[in-house]
Amino acid sequence: MLEFSRARVWMLNIILLLGVVFAIPSIVPGRYLSQLSDSIPKETINLGLDLAGGSHILLEADPAELEKTRLESLEGGVRGAMRRAKPRIAIADMSRADGNISFNVTDPSQIDAARKEIEPLVANTTGGRDWDIDITDGNRITLSPSGSGTETALDQAMDTAKDVINRRINALGTLEPTIIRQGDDRIVVQVPGLTDPQALKDLIGKTAKLEFKLVDEQADPDQTAKGKARVGSQVFPMEDGSGNIAVRRLGGIAGDKLVKADPTFDQDTNQPAVTIQFDAEGGQKFTRMTQQHTGKLFAIILDGQVISAPVIREPIYGGVSQISGSFTVESANQLAIALRSGALPVDLKIVEERSVGPDLGADSIRRGALAAMIGTVLVLVIMFLTYGRFGFYSNIALIINVLMILSVMALANATLTLPGIAGFVLTVGAAVDANVLINERIREEVRRGRRVFQAIEHGYKEASRAIFDANITNVIAAVLLFLFGSGPIRGFAVVLMIGIATSVFTAVVITRMWVSRWVKRTRPQSLNV
Amino acid sequence: MRLLKLVPDNTNIGFLRWRNIAFTISTLLMIASIVLVVVRGLNFGVDFIGGQMIRATFEESQQAPIPELRDKVGSLGYGAPVIQRFGAENQISIRMKLPEGADKDPEIANTMADKITNKLKADYKDVRIDGVDSVSGKVSDELFTKGVWALLAAILGVSAYIWIRFEWQFGVGAIWALVHDVTLTMGFFAITQLEFNLSIIAALLTIIGYSLNDTIVVYDRIRENLKKFRKMDISALLDLSINETLARTIMTSLTILLPLLALVFIGPGVIFGFALAMTLGIFVGTYSSIYMASPVLIWLKVGSDSFVPAEGVADKVERTSESYGAKV
């Protein structure tokens, strides 16, 4: 047990050295860090928001809303395809209910042709189908969402949403956000250093779905005021609360075809406004729409509310337009950012929000570090007083152990949170315990009359069994916690797993190497332990 | 250098003589804890019941004006707030239930937080808002379920390992000790009404880890002695094992208590409840290894035939290895 080959000693020393070196960036204060040579790694441990201060926002998508949007776009797709088919396929009784779309093909002999037109609309890229097609009574087609289609749609929507949020926050400037997807329908946004998340929430809470639709000027104003739309129309509320407007369901332009959006001021009223520029395709559509409907009203709809409904005075060429409404400078700027970064494909709702002020965070770190330091010094003193030379070895091993945990965390880019500190305390405790077990066992073996070499050998061997069992159970607990636990509990589990590995290494393997070298060099006749 | 010895050599304390008394007291304490948790309830934080928590520090004051704040925040029309000291004397947390409809429209919750923080800032010049947490009912339900599952999974998982590695009686003893530790700690939270939040779950897990570590050390010695002294009376053997490991038990408890006490007295307020729970857990965990985990072995009839036919795999390996024969 006490034999260490030269190669093994070298290997262990190299690991020790690396373990210490990688911890340097995490423990040296920032202002000295830049002066260190380039050969020292720069990875540091991230401090969790509870320690460093900042904002944490958990967003959840509304899958029902997404389904509705999908249904709407499918309906538009089906109508367009039937109209463009040659010969044109007449359909009737289009209905959207229970998440399905169904309609009658007026001439039953065209049913196969209709099916052929729909096929490409419902196929997805992996060769499967997003929607299942059913034909009943010879002429009624029902499209129902396939399970995988719904899943894929949500998955893609969440990916897009993540990108959109990223672009929006980046537009705010120098923040360094972490944006990750969680589960099927959630996104976590963490922004260190941002204490008042209001601006952030305003920005990411906005879906920014922009639509231009023609106002339905034939609609009955009384019905519109009640929120009832006639066939082929939709009713939207005005954003300023001044009533409702009916618009034509089809034939509008979606605002997702923008290449530019900037805050500006309206030249006539001098009020804040936003100018937008469509891409080539959207620009052409916009020109066509304004050409065909000059003199009519069109509504600019943002997130289900009409911002304004101006008259089209003349055809607009070049795809540049201006949106004016009741904006402030700030809200115009926010809208421009939101439009530039694209619409969120799905509505997101804030389900959890946490913010920690930087003062509290700094205070926590300062007092936490002081407490940890005092606690550690006390432990080191009592270990040395109790076990002498062996206690000294344990102490050095313990210090290296702490540094190694920091190193591994820095390399793995792990985040240290308050529960993580609990994990730290537990592993440091376990590391000390390992040495206490070994040293007590050596004492015991000496008392039983064993000679120096044998007592040490037996001490390590007999104690190792309990150390092994205790650490395995901790690993089991840590793995289960990681699997079943949520955010902060996982932080605890991660530190625990790292700490178990490093503490067994330092407390058992490394101290044994030092003890064995000492025994071989000095050949003591008795042990003061 | 003369070395420090906290426990004299070769102690021979009859720990298990009091096992019935200890067991009775512990069982009564456990029942009392359960009753307290059920009747008085735990003071759940927003992590587990949803709602909003605003933390604030009154920088120039010795003490936060808690009763005055109760009236002021209560008069805003969002119901009665739960206001508690949070760390230092001049630090508080204000907890509110989320208003009706906040699940649908987060703006309502925002408005509430704004109104409260504005009121504080207007009425107290030295107030510093340290953070706002807002957790919806759906998320808090999930956090709660996940927390409970994590605890259960950890307890069952490690007990199963002990069962495999030792004998089934040891698994039962370990699970019993862990249930004891967790129950008493929860009882402590029911009495003190300290806030029970996610970090307390982490504290409970740490206590489980520590208590189990302690139990394993004693069990390992019992296993060793069971193999060594086949004829010895079981309760004498347990006493011997506990005495042999006593020095280690005291020393380890002390070395883990020192940093914990440092955290309790000078650590940040945010982890006061957490550190206090752990400190208590160290005592409970050490005690339970001796008086809960060990006597179970007597009652479940662990004896000289244990570890003979059905010893763990690792023991078999050990027995065939070269050095084992030299022992005893």
- Structure confidence by residue, pLDDT tens digits, A460-473: 999 998 899 888 88
DSSP H or E segment with residue B156: helix B137-165
Q: What is the pLDDT of residue B321?
A: 44
* Mean pLDDT computed over A124-153: 81
Q: What is the pLDDT of residue A125?
A: 67
B-contacting residues in A 497-526 (Cβ below 8 Å): none
Q: What is the pLDDT of residue A39?
A: 65
DSSP H or E segment with residue B219: helix B198-228
Helices assigned H by DSSP within B9-85: 19-39, 46-49, 66-74
pLDDT at residue A231 tops 50: yes
Bigger pLDDT: A216 vs B27: B27
Cα–Cα dist A346/B100, whole Å:
25
Q: Inspect the interface and report whether the beta carbons of A418 and B199 lie closer than 8 Å.
A: yes
Nearest to A432 among B216, B245, B252 (CB): B252
* Mean pLDDT computed over A505-517: 91
| Chain A CB contacts of B138 below 8 Å | 60, 351
AA identity, residue A152:
T
A-contacting residues in B 238-277 (Cβ below 8 Å): 244-245, 247-248, 251-252, 254-256, 258-263, 265-268, 270-271, 274
Q: For the segment A286-344, what is each residue's pLDDT rounded down to a tens digit?
A: 888 888 888 888 888 888 888 888 888 788 887 888 887 778 888 888 788 878 777 78
Of A100-104, A208-212, B181-185, least confident by mean pLDDT is A208-212
Cα–Cα dist A471/A452, whole Å:
28
Residue of B nearest to A433 (CA): B252
Cα–Cα dist A223/B148, whole Å:
53
* Mean pLDDT computed over A27-32: 68
Q: What is the pLDDT of residue A349?
A: 84
pLDDT at residue A119 tops 70: yes
Q: For the segment A55-65, what is each residue's pLDDT rounded down to a tens digit?
A: 888 999 888 87
Q: Is B3 on the interface with A (CB under 8 A)?
A: yes
- Picking from A158, A154, A137, the residue whose alpha carbon sits closest to that of residue A145 is A154
Q: Is A369 on the interface with B (CB under 8 A)?
A: no
Q: Please give the backbone phi and psi of residue A385, each rounded to the nearest 5 degrees, phi first.
A: -65, -35
Residue of B nearest to A351 (CA): B136
Q: For the segment A515-524, what is each residue's pLDDT rounded down to a tens digit?
A: 999 998 988 8
- ipTM over 0.85? The verdict is no
* Mean pLDDT computed over A399-409: 90
Q: What is the pLDDT of residue B181?
A: 94
DSSP string, A433-466: HHHHHHHHHHHHHHHTT--HHHHHHHHHHHHHHH
Tell me the torsion sign for CA atoms B144, B147, B151, B157: positive
Q: What is the pLDDT of residue B301?
A: 81
Bigger pLDDT: B311 vs A146: A146
For the packed helices B198-228 and A452-484, what is the interaxial angle rounded to 10 degrees? 140
Nearest to B255 among A436, A440, A480 (CB): A436
C-alpha Rg value of chain A to the nearest Å: 34
| Chain B CB contacts of A487 below 8 Å | 198
How is residue B155 written in tokens? 């307890």
Bigger pLDDT: B49 vs B308: B49
Q: Is B208 on the interface with A (CB under 8 A)?
A: yes
Confidence of residue B311 (pLDDT cuts 50, 70, 90): very low
Q: Is A426 on the interface with B (CB under 8 A)?
A: yes
Bigger pLDDT: B250 vs A424: B250
- Picking from A511, A503, A513, the residue whose alpha carbon sits closest to that of residue A433 is A503
| DSSP label at residue B260 | H
Measure in Å the smallest separation between the Cα of B75 and chain A Cα atoms. Answer: 25
A-contacting residues in B 84-123 (Cβ below 8 Å): 106, 110
| Chain A CB contacts of B7 below 8 Å | none
Q: For the segment A107-118, what is each residue's pLDDT rounded down to a tens digit?
A: 888 888 888 888
Q: Is B205 on the interface with A (CB under 8 A)?
A: yes
Residue of A nearest to B255 (CA): A379
Residue B274 to residues A194, A487, B53, B130, B268, Cα–Cα distance (Å): 26, 17, 18, 19, 11
Q: Inspect the interface and report whether the beta carbons of A469 and B150 lie closer than 8 Å.
A: no
pLDDT at residue B67 tops 80: yes
- Burial status of residue B286 (CB atoms within 10 A of its CB: 0-12, 13-18, 19 or more): buried
Q: What is the pLDDT of residue B320?
A: 46
- Picking from A318, A264, A52, the residue whose alpha carbon sits closest to that of residue A176 is A52
DSSP 3-state assignment of B172?
Answer: helix
Q: What is the pLDDT of residue B187?
A: 94
pLDDT at residue B322 tops 50: no
Measure in Å the smallest separation between the Cα of B68 and chain A Cα atoms. Answer: 23
Q: Inspect the interface and report whether the beta carbons of A355 and B131 lie closer than 8 Å.
A: yes
pLDDT at residue A434 tops 80: yes
Q: Is A377 on the interface with B (CB under 8 A)?
A: no
Cα–Cα dist A81/A84, whole Å:
5
- Quick one: what percent of chain B has pLDDT higher than 70? 92
DSSP H or E segment with residue A376: helix A358-411
